[in-house]
Amino acid sequence: MAGFPFFRSLTLAGAALVSHGAHAADATTPPPVASFFAAPQVSQAALSPKGGYVALTTMLPDGIQALVVRDSGNLSKVTLLARSTADRALITSVHWINENRVGFTVKNFDKEFEGNRDEFAIDRNGENRVHLISGNWEHQQKQIGSNMVNRTLTAAYSFHGVTHDGSDDILVEKSTWNNTDRTLEHTRLMRLNTRTQALRNAFDGTQPEAVQSWFTDSNDVPRIVTAQIKGRCITSHRNADDTSWSEIGNSACYQDQRFTPLFFDGTDTLYVYAHHKDNGALFRYNLKAMKMDPEPFVETPGYDFTGSAEIDRVSRKLLGLHLHTDAATTFWLDPVLKAEQAKIDAALPNTINTVHCAQDCAASPVLLISSNSDRQPRRYLLYTRASGAITGLGSIHPDIQPAQMGPRSFHHYTARDGRSIPAYVTLPPGKPSGPQPAVVLVHGGPMARGSSWEWEAEAAFLATRGYVVIQPEFRGGTGFGADHFQAGWKQWGGTMQDDLADAARWAAKQGWADPQRVAIMGASYGGYATLMGLIKDPTVFRCGVEWAGVTDIKLRFTSTESDASRETLGYSLRLLVGDPDNPADAEMMRRNSPLLRAAELKQPLLMAHGLKDRRVPIEHAQKFSAAVKASNPNVTSIIYDNEGHGWRHPENSIAFWTQVESFLDRNLKQAP
């Protein structure tokens, strides 16, 4: 299907979702690289609990990020709360603690490891700022064995969530590590006062083993925890006034038809994700009967349920659900918000308008809108409920104009073995005459959903440079059913790889892609798939670009610099990728490791890696670069000294994509 996305039917009380209409765009001079990959101008926005104020992060003219608060009744009233003064630090999360107090998280992007987040709280008038958590690990080490009292918590703590009782408290997780790898042993939930810095347990009693995730009820009381132990996914529950926990789920991760807790609504009903037929759906779970409802509360046929809840914390009502099928949409249970959504959509046609309410939704004078489309980067707006007025707050990339972007559409194609594979296609702006050079852009994971219909910087950038961009949701990815996911187990370099070559051939048959000028590119798993695509299908892919890519499957298990946990190495990787102790799997891994077949890669290749990468350590890039350059002179290798697994610094993103543009122009667009 071409054009605007089709929202699949949503089964909930017989309701159906309706798509928005498409808008036209004329091809114009493409924006510069920085317009796509510079730091977002406005990166986040959040309503205060009663809706009187909106907090947002914005880039100041001097290039420094700032946190500001605006009065929702008079947006010209602006208070500057904080500036990100550290050279490589950015505010990554903003959360209202109560109507008068704001919390925010700062991350140092020069540090790859976890725990590297500072937490602050400040009154909305800019006073009473408190440094709650230091993300500096050196600070933590100094506190160990010291009698000095310092109320700023160490990097062993991290922000979990706000409370909803109007107090100055937040919830934080205290993490404990083992002595063998970099993965958490377990966490414990605690309550922290953001003024006095008083810290106390969020509940009484002990807790289950290896807790990784916490779920609290409407009174912010921990009720559900999850853990993963020796390949088993375990869910435990406690009543609000109990001091002990009981298991309500224990099953083999990935293999069994288990359920996963998602959220409590305001009336303390637990909602869980579980399989229904082939797709994951949303179910209610009765904690008194310890039983899941027999039928889904919401299902999205053809897609696994992916969504979040909109809850009124005062009335304790579940107001609606923000969902993803081929694109984002919202189903409102609340009739008032449903009507307001219709008014907003009428005023903002041709975009997906995701509406968020304050915690006290009924009393809030405003609604916050996050609006985007296939050609429009996300922008934030405020809807005044009394007047219907809509006011813009800013866009993540304001230099991008919809008329400069190409259309994006969702399709299915048939792989060589008959499997139906979803895919997103982004065409160059305007009306291209005949087949164009094309890029198969491969998502990472690989056990992840790759994309959605909305504007995406990488695909949009490539399309403005004249390339058809094909993004296959190949088997082994999530979001499209259990069978689609399981079909990719132990298929690195196998049928997962065939899906990518089949996508290129399919795009050529549609008349979009020039079959003689197709590139393959991607990061992480997508980097691995790029290398294997060039090796396995040299007649399909003319050149490739990979970054942060796995170059040898065996290194996933043996690298001493990797952040992979014992759990990942001992169970998850062996199930999903291959077991090196199994002779058949070991042979498959040798056969499908690019490093061992580097001499077969003859096409032009651009590769890049972060020196501080712990997910796919730098030795992957170093070993493959040395091996492939021995027989291929047309290989460029870039190392970014201050990057980890992917690009976190805008100047590196801009430099990298400038290199990509030149590389593709030389080796694909202008190639005979």
pLDDT of 50-95, one tens digit each?
A: 999 999 999 998 888 999 999 999 999 999 999 986 557 889 999 9
For residue 421, what is the enclosing H or E element?
strand 420-426
Q: What is the mean pLDDT of residues 97-109?
A: 93
Query: What torsion, rounded to 10 degrees, do the Cα atoms 361, 366, 372, 378 define?
Result: -100
Of 158, 613, 620, 653, which is the active-site residue? Answer: 613
Distance of alpha carbon 78 from the chain centroid:
30
pLDDT tens figures, 483-510: 999 999 999 999 999 999 999 999 999 9
Architecture of the domain made up of 406-669: 3-Layer(aba) Sandwich (3.40)
**Tokens of residue 233, six digits:** 């996914």
What is the structure's pLDDT at 87? Answer: 57
Sign (positive/negative) of CA torsion 425, 428, 430, 436? negative
Burial class (CB in 10 A: 0-12, 13-18, 19+), 483: exposed
Question: What is the reported pTM?
Answer: 0.92
For residue 132, what is the enclosing H or E element?
strand 130-133
Q: Which of 100, 72, 68 is nearest to 84 (CA)?
A: 68
Residue 590: HSE in the Cβ half-sphere, 13 Å Cα cutoff? 8
Of 304, 322, 645, 653, which is the active-site residue? Answer: 645
Q: Which of 189, 207, 217 is nearest to 243 (CA)?
A: 207
Is pLDDT at 25 greater than 90 in this prediction?
no
β-bridge mates for residue 153, sequence order: 133
Pairing of strands 270-276, 169-177: unpaired
What is the structure's pLDDT at 142? Answer: 46
Q: What is the mean pLDDT of residues 439-444?
A: 98
pLDDT tens figures, 640-653: 999 999 999 999 99
Q: Which of 299, 283, 164 is nearest to 218 (CA)?
A: 164
What is the structure's pLDDT at 2? Answer: 36
CB 243 within 8 Å of CB 290? no
645 catalytic, yes or no?
A: yes
Q: Which of 207, 108, 97 is nearest to 159 (CA)?
A: 97
443 catalytic, yes or no?
A: no
CB 208 within 8 Å of CB 245? yes
| Calpha distance 133→116 (Å, rounded) | 10
Of 134, 451, 524, 593, which is the active-site residue? Answer: 524
| Calpha distance 625→552 (Å, rounded) | 12
| Calpha distance 10→18 (Å, rounded) | 10
Helix axes 495-509, 525-536, angle to 10 degrees: 70
19 catalytic, yes or no?
A: no
What is the structure's pLDDT at 332? Answer: 98
β-bridge mates for residue 520, sequence order: 440, 544
Q: What is the mean pLDDT of residues 227-236?
A: 93
pLDDT tier, 147 (very low <50, low <70, confident <90, very high otherwise): very low
